[in-house]
Each structure stands twice: as structure tokens, then as C-alpha cells.
Amino acid sequence: MPLTPEVQNTINTWLTPDYDADTQAAIRQMQADGQDDQLTDAFYRTLEFGTGGLRGIMGPGSNRMNRYTLGMATQGLCNYLLQSFPGQQIKVAIAHDSRNNSRAFAEIAAGIFSANGIVAYLFEALRPTPELSFAIRELQCQSGCVITASHNPKEYNGYKVYWNDGSQVVAPHDQNIIAEVNKITSPSEVKFQADPSKIVSIGADIDARYFAAASKLSIDPAAIQRQHDLNIVYTPIHGSGITLVPGLLREFGFTNVNVVQAQATPDGNFPTVQSPNPEEKSAMQLALDQAKATNADIVLATDPDADRVGVGVKNDQGEWVLLNGNQTAAVLTNYLLSARHRAGQATPKDYIVYTIVTSEILGDIARSYNVHSYRTLTGFKYIAGLIREKEGREIYIGGGEESYGFLIGDFVRDKDAISACALVAEMAAVAKDQGRTLYQEMVHMYTQHGLYVEDLISLTKKGQRGAEEIQEMMASLRANPPATIAGMKVVEIRDYKTGRIHDLRTGLATDTGVESSNVLQFLTDDGSKISARPSGTEPKIKFYFSVKQPLKSAVDFDLAQRQAHEKIQAIIADMKLQ
């Protein structure tokens, strides 16, 4: 496909002296090789600075992650910070993961901040995203950023921006920063010349402070002391978790932590996996193999920036199984509340948080301990926003989402797989101390609250017609909501776009209590929940399914699980989603 005049004009701009010789040489090589499709993709638009920052494939081009797109984003952020905090010495913290170019990008960002008169606290080497959030609060910074593309494939990198409370930027700052970034149209407007006097290296001291704060999360250190040799297999999947997870497990008192050596070295090529994502079994396979070979008690994993946690446990047949994000969030919530109750630490001000598409068992668990629970929109910045809103009046215990994120305590304001690993290990130690496995603890939790099973379908609808189809699907569901789904009576409709919850049993309508979002949910009389949510960044619509089955005895667990999965398939068929 030949280049359009617009694409060619953008390429010509990138072949001017505003861009370095290596960048120009790479573009000319693509031209010489006739790579028109690749050139179009690299230059047909400007890589969008969204509400969370940048994320894209690395390489030359306006639609790529490189020193220029990063530089213009950082300059826009600097301009907004200088407007927002006039007359103050502004400080930012900067971290990066193990991805290719992450260190170089972090140093470029630090240089631009410093050139704008802003003190840049730059971690001396790779560090997890949650530690960046912690450092912003600990060093009383006005902002911060981390260079990461989370669990995306190796070709990607990104740039996440945080505000002074350690959470990802939210309204009105997100849109205001975007406006400032969009004003920067040329690298000539970026102050690339660093002021070394304003760049401060940080590392071990912040690590020690993080360990001190995280160690206070332990609820049953006596059980750990008795089970200190719990056999733990941990993999950082070539990412930044290696810098903190083994150390925090030692701080908690665990003495038998075995790192998967083939994945221990940080490496942006992620050579042992297709995708460095603990949600995928293939990424966890080496850890599971090691656990089986060494008769381990538990498997723990983190993604490249160590904000998502993966957990493997042995079932009653001795087979290793992976917990999904809902299961991990549920067992952690159940442990935190039950252990605090046993230890006499519970207070009437305690609360937990989960997102609107996360399993409702979290709310059931909270109610069983007379603990408040709150729901937020999808995304951890909303959980952080609720923590900020409740600060000083209520006590945040923990919160999670179905996509493998959990946060315990409020000294970090983003999902934190470091502390989650430590508390999952403590859970396993407490269970072993009582002669049970973590798998058995999970099954017991379900016998108390009912078995919840979740699934997700993501439908891709490409192009303009695809976007129209997605809108038509949502409009149809709103205009003609189902009275029954797979034989189950719909008793409640939650429309987060209008902000109203309609109870079809009473006819009453109440507010959702969260800001507007294009999400629609149907709740049935047996406790099932079906959610429809168009993606804001991709041509996709996601359907989340959560069904509830009664479970009176652990011996019925496998049967109840099969029945739950069959119920989900019946829902999918009834809604004609496949």
C-alpha cells in the first residue's frame, strides 16, 4: 500500500536536523527496503498520550515509543507541573522495568525534568512500579513516572504518569496534562539538555523504607516463624520483581525461597516466554515445573513491572493449578479480614474495595465480617482515588481487581505484587500451620460464601463498522434488556453510563455511586452477574461473566465448578455471543 501524502510529510519532518542521525538512518533504511506498510504504521498518527500516559511499539516514528515521543510527553508534563505548583521546588521520582531501552528512556526523562528546574529522583537501576508509587509519597514528590509496558510483548514500552499521592493521574490532571502534551509539536520545544545537579540517584534507602512499611502488613508472624521453611518457588519472569520480592519474603521470615534461575535475570527480550504475563500458563510453566520437581508448597510470579501477581497451588490430587485474578483477590480478602479478626486488629472503620467487574464474593466476605465494601470502575486509579477520598475517616485494608492486581495497605497507591506475594506466602504458612493447603483454604472459603466462577469473552470489531456494531450492541441491551438469561431471572440492572441501578423486584432506582462509564450489568436471582464493557482504547467489547453455585461441602467442589462453567456456556449461548 503506497504512502499517503500525510504520512510522507510526517516522514519528511523526521528526516530534518531536529532528529538525530541514527533515527534518520533507520527511516532511510526502511524506505530503501520498501517497507511502506511499516512506515505507514510508524507515521500515520502521533502516539497518543492517554489518561495513563504512553504505550507503544519501540522504534522511529511519530506512532512509536522513542526518545522524541517520550521527550515531548515529558516536556508537556513539566509545563503542567510548573503551572500547577508555582514558586515551589518541584520534585519527581522515576523508575523503570527490565524492558529494552527502559533505562535509556528513564535517563532521558530525568534529563528533561532537570532541564526544566525540577528535581528528578532517579532509581539507580530497575525497580517495580509499586515502589515508584511508594517513593513519590515517601519523598514528597509532586509527580512521578515509570517506564514500563507492563505485561505487553517485548516490542512494547510505555510511560505511566503519577500524581503527588502516588496514584496514576486522574481528573482533572489527566486531561490537563494531555492538553499540555498536545501543545508540544516539535522536539525543538523539548529541553533535552540535562542539569546533573538536579538528578538524584536513589535505591537501597528507598528499598529499606519500603521493606519497613510492607513488613508491618504481616498479621500472623508466629505462624511464619513455625513454617519459615515453607517451600516457595518464585519467578520474576525476567522483570523487576527480582529486586524486591525475595528480599521482602526474607523480611517476613521465610527461609526457603527458590527463584526460577532461568527467569531470574532481568531481560527485555523475555527469552523463555512468548509473553511475560502471569495470567498465561505458558509464562508460569517453568515455575510450575520447578515446583513439581521440588514438591514446593506454593508458586509466586510477578510481571515485568511487578504490579500483577500470579499464584500456583496444589490441588487435592497433587496437581498444580493456577489461581485466576478473582480467586487470588478473594482468598487474600478472606485472609486479611479473618486474620485481623482473630488477631483483634479489626475496627468498625475497616473497608475493602473491588471493581465493578470483579467477583461479588469480595463483598460477601466483607459483609460476613461486618466490614464495609466499595465498588469502583475498572482500573486501579479508581481504587486509589477512593483511598484518597476516605483517608483519615476510614481504614483501607485491601482491594483488588480481576486482572491480577491487589493492594494491601495504603502506603502504595497502585496495585502491588510485592506485598501481595508476601501475604499470599503468609496465607500458605498459616494454612500449613493448621494442616491444610492454600487450595483447601480457597475451597473452604467457597463453602462458606458460595462458589463464584468467572469468565471473560472479548469480541473484536474492527474498522468504522465495527465501532458502530459495538455501539449498537450496547444500545440494544439498554433498549431491550433481557428479562431472563439462560433461564435465570434478571432482578437488577446497573447502568454505569446513566449512573442508575434499577431493582426490578421493588421498582426502586438508586445511584451507582461512581462516575459515568459505558458499562452495563445484569444481575440474576441466583447471584450471577453479566457485564458488558466496550474498550476505550481498542476495537473490542468485553463481556464478563460471574456465576454463583451453592457449595455445601468441599467434596462437591469439582462438580459445582463444572456446573458453574456449564452455566456460563449457557449464558454465552443464550446471549448469542459465539
Catalytic annotation, residues: 150
SS3 451: strand
- Quick check: 336 and 397 in contact, CB under 8 A? yes
β-bridge pairing 350-355 and 372-376: parallel
Instruction: Give, in order, the Cα–Cα distances in Å from 394 to each of 37, 349, 383, 457.
Output: 54, 5, 14, 36
Element (H, E) at 113: helix 102-115
CA gap 552, 434 in Å, rounded: 21
Burial of 58-92, coded b for 16+ CB within 10 Å and e otherwise, reads bbbbbbbbbbbbbbbbbbbbbbbbeebeeeeebbb
Instruction: Measure the CA–CA gap between 295 and 390, rounded to whole angstroms.
Output: 44
Give the H or E element holding residue 251: helix 245-252
324, three cell numbers:
485466576
CA-nearest of 51, 91, 61 to 385 is 51
Cβ distance 112 to 78 under 8 Å?
Answer: yes
Chain center to CA of 125: 22
Q: Strand ranges (DSSP E) for 476-572? A: 484-485, 488-495, 500-503, 509-511, 520-524, 529-534, 540-549
Radius of gyration of the chain (CA): 24
Closest CA to 97 of 51, 160, 47, 52: 160
Give strand pairing partners of 543.
457, 532
> Counting beta carbons within 10 angstroms of the beta carbon of residue 552, is it exposed (0 to 12), middle (13 to 18) or buried (19 or more)?
exposed
Residue 262: what residue type? A
Which residues are within 8 A (CB) of 240 and not within 5 positions of it... i.e. 6 or more apart?
97, 98, 126, 127, 128, 129, 266, 302, 304, 305, 306
Nearest to 418 by CA among 168, 251, 202, 203: 251
- Of 275, 276, 278, nearest in space to 324 by CA: 278
Round to whole Å and give the CA distance between 35 and 164.
44
Residue with cell 477512593: 386
Tell me how many helices (H) and strands (E) the chain has: 18, 23
For residue 295, give the 3-state DSSP assignment. coil
Q: 569: which residues sit within 8 A by CB, 6+ positions away?
A: none
Using left for φ > 0, alpha for ψ between -120 and 50, and beta otherwise, residue 412 falls in beta
Element (H, E) at 215: helix 204-215
Instruction: Give the alpha-carbon dihedral of 40, 44, 45, 46, to 10 degrees.
Output: 50
